[in-house]
Structure 1
Amino acid sequence: MLALDNLHPQVHPSRTRPAALDPAVELVVGDVADPAVWDTLLANVSPAVVVHLAAETGTGQSLTEGTRHAHVNVVGTTQMLDALVRHSRIPSRIVLTSSRAVYGEGAWEASDGSVSYPGQRSRAMLESGTWDFPGLRCLPFEATRTEPRPTSIYGATKLAQEMILKAWALSFGVEVGLVRLQNVYGPGQSLSNPYTGIVSLFARMAKAGRTIPLYEDGEIIRDFVFIEDAARAVIAVATESVPTSTAYDIGSGEATSIRELGDVIAGIYGAPKPVVNGAFRNGDVRAASCDIARTTRELGWSPQWPVQRGVRTLCEWIDTQELPPLCG
């Protein structure tokens, strides 16, 4: 097994081989957008299955560093595909870890049952404290029902990855497995990366005895999926004989508000109760959760880590780590 990673300093400050990486895995340090890296790698390797995890992932960061996100996510994907053809190394299957960000705000339902796609919340809405779309309730994402309508540059690049892979694969007879991950968290995640996610950020703040700040009104909805559940889903799509014509939504199946998350984490550390501060981030979606019924049925997979258990396990791991300074 071989892994290609650029060990980006935002995620790997020491730029050294991760200690948790299985010794059986050969690590090649390189940039997925560099054709020379692929030429060197594919001169001696003929992959049967490619699991494409490489991506720039900061939703907010992509608003100001869109070129970097597009270069890695889009050009990195096309460079990989071009190299596979150039070296006649066509795999049987490519699995892409995509994102719930491709949906944007997703579909919302009115009281009469009609469904619409209200799109991105405007700055005027956010500044007035109009957090929800009046008269509508959010629906969980489901790949066969919810239209992808990204509201961030990051989400747009992930959708581009999906479309590029599917178009290429049809021409070369390659199966494509798409997994649209919700908010993944758990032991081993970077604690120095400010774009890692709010679970580890909340945990670090509570551990330091600080009050967790809740954006908007504290009722932002997310689906927090534990890393082991996400990994098992990716492995299933990579190794099992499963339908690959549509994407799989990978989440816990629980819609959790950031208020609920904050309360759980504050309780673990005996920190002050989280406080709503009314702040907001442009481009943030109000609600993101998913319906995993089809995923569990077709993959034979189901999440094993409820949010409370997963969060406690993450906190136990954080307590064993040497933590970088907490900013803010």
Structure 2
Amino acid sequence: MTQTCLVTGGAGFIGCAISDALTAAFDTVVAVDNLHPQIHKTGARPAALNERVELIVADVTEPGTWDEVLAKHRPDTVIHLAAETGTGQSLTEATRHAQVNVVGTTRMLDALAARGIVPQRIVLSSSRAVYGEGEWLDAQGKGHYPGQRSAQMLEQGQWDFPGLRSQPFRCAHTKPAPTSVYGATKLAQEHILSAWCLAFGTGLNILRLQNVYGPGQSLTNPYTGIVSLFARMAKAGKSIPLYEDGHMLRDFVFIDDVAAAIVAAATSDKSGILADIGTGDSLSIAQLASVIGDIYQAPPPHVTGQFRNGDVRHAACDVSATRDTLGWTPQVDAATGARRLCEWIDQRPEQLERL
């Protein structure tokens, strides 16, 4: 029996990274992507997208898109990547984020239901942004959810929550509490898909991704990709500016590891998976800047004290449960991945000249 996989946002960074493996696993792979100019400057089909993938250039928020797609294909598996990203951007462009992330999801589901198409499985690429600040422990080991840092806190340079220590996110334990519009829309995606899949009998696997980076990511999108931003600045011989005090923690997970996790979730016999996808380790922004600065022998990074509303102080995850539920283990540490990204950037001087 032939199997069809539909990938929304399938011409993006992650969509291209999974395309080779998907064409090996499925008879037909269809990517739906609007080739947004924030990511795709020229509007051309990405060279990294496997040639066997059928690309339909269309907007997931438009009903006509689904008329076109579902008239030709009945997907057995759907990988839902299409999303507007960017924590800070979402606070000033909330409608656009809600339109793509929430309405785009419901348009797809309504179209499937209207045609009686019930996929065997849907895989959602969710985000660590659903957790917000997550859980913090006090000196007695009691858990607290301090919520979003206020504008007053940030303006006064109060970066942490006094007397509390941040904890790695664990999907089975940490309560979602988004601090950005983007995070709220990703959590809404999870809830919408959970309700629909339960009602229609479709298996659902949700992966909450940490900070994804690596070769293939956009070098022109100003709202994503702090690793590539740091690399471009260091390559130009500049000192990397550090927001807040430079001690914010992040879990930087390499694109190859993320691709492997998504393909595993799409091809696994298991359904009902909710998993954190990261390295299980964290680096401070200052540590990341030093690693990248050393690669290019750039001046030392410097602290600016600037901040971005909606940003969380620390974000890291525990992947021990993911190893068991998904049979997946990250392979690339942040230092190795940063070097690989820098090597890739070094091979593209023409793109840097346009920045």
Same fold (TM over 0.5): yes
C-alpha distance in structure 2 between counterparts of 1:256 and 1:237, whole Å: 27
1:115 aligns with 2:143: yes
Structure 1 stretch displaced more, 318-327 or 275-284: 318-327
How far apart are residue 251 of structure 1 and its match? 0.2
Three-state SS of the structure 2 residue aligned to 1:178 is strand
Distance 2:354 2:161 in 1: 34
1:155 maps to which residue?
183
Q: Which residue of 1 aligns with 2:310?
A: 283
Partners of 1:269 and 1:60 lie apart in 2 by 28
Residues 1:168 and 2:180 are matched in the alignment? no
Distance in 2, matches of 1:247 and 1:256, equals 24
The answer for the alignment partner of 2:155 in structure 1 is 127
Instruction: Work out the number of aligned pairs and report it.
Output: 326
1:68 corresponds to which residue?
A: 96
Query: C-alpha displacement at 1:243, in angstroms?
Result: 4.4
Q: CA shift at 1:323, angstroms?
A: 2.5
Shift of 1:196: 1.9
Q: Deviation digits for residues 257-312 of structure 1, max 9, x if unmatched?
A: 00100000000000001111111111110000000000011211100001111000
Helix, strand or coil: the match of 2:351? coil
Unaligned ranges ≥5, structure 1:
none
Aligned to 2:64: 36
Q: CA deviation at 1:49?
A: 0.3
2:3 is matched with: none
Q: What residue number does 2:321 align with? A: 294
Task: Compute the displacement of 1:324 (Å).
Answer: 4.2
Q: Which runs of 5+ in 2 are unaligned?
A: 1-28
The aligned residue for residue 252 of structure 2 is 224
Residue by residue over 1:38-70, the C-alpha shift from the partner in whole angstroms, topping out at 9 and shown as x without a partner, is 011101101110000000001100000000000
Q: Does 1:98 align with 2:126?
A: yes
| Separation in structure 1 between the aligned mates of residue 236 and residue 264 of structure 2, nearest angstrom | 38
Q: Are residue 187 (structure 1) and residue 208 (structure 2) matched?
A: no
Moved more, 81-90 or 176-185: 81-90
Contact 1:205 1:326 in 2 (8 A): no
Instruction: Render the CA deviation track for 1:128-185: whole Å, top value 9, x for unaligned.
Output: 1111000000000011000000010000000000000000111100011000000000
Query: Is the contact between residue 204 and residue 326 of structure 1 (CA under 8 Å) also seen in structure 2?
Result: no
Q: CA deviation at 1:242?
A: 2.4
1:284-323 alignment, distance < 5 Å: 284-321=311-348, 322-323=350-351
In structure 2, the partner of 1:247 is 274
- Matched AA of 1:5: D
Q: Which moved further from structure 2: 121-130 or 142-151?
A: 121-130
2-side partners of 1:247 and 1:102: how far apart?
13
Q: How many Å apart are 1:90 and its aligned residue?
A: 1.1
The code of the aligned residue for 1:254 comes to: D
TM-score normalised to the size of structure 1? 0.98
For residue 262 of structure 1, what is the aligned residue in structure 2?
Answer: 289
Runs of 4+ with deviation above 4 angstroms: 324-327
Name the SS of the counterpart of 1:72 in structure 2.
Answer: helix
Supply the AA of the counterpart residue of 2:125: T
User: CA 1:207 to 1:326, structure 2 compared with 1: closer, same or farther past 3 Å?
Assistant: farther
| RMSD, matched Cα | 1.0
What is the aligned counterpart of 1:212 among 231, 235, 240? 240
1:101 and 1:150 in contact (8 A); partners too: yes
Partners of 2:283 and 2:353 in 1: CA distance: 28
CA distance in 2, matches of 1:153, 1:194: 18
Q: Whole-Å Cα distance in 1 between the matches of residues 101 and 131 of structure 2?
A: 17
Give the Cα separation in 1 of the matches to 2:224 and 2:186. Answer: 17
What's 1:139 paired with? 167
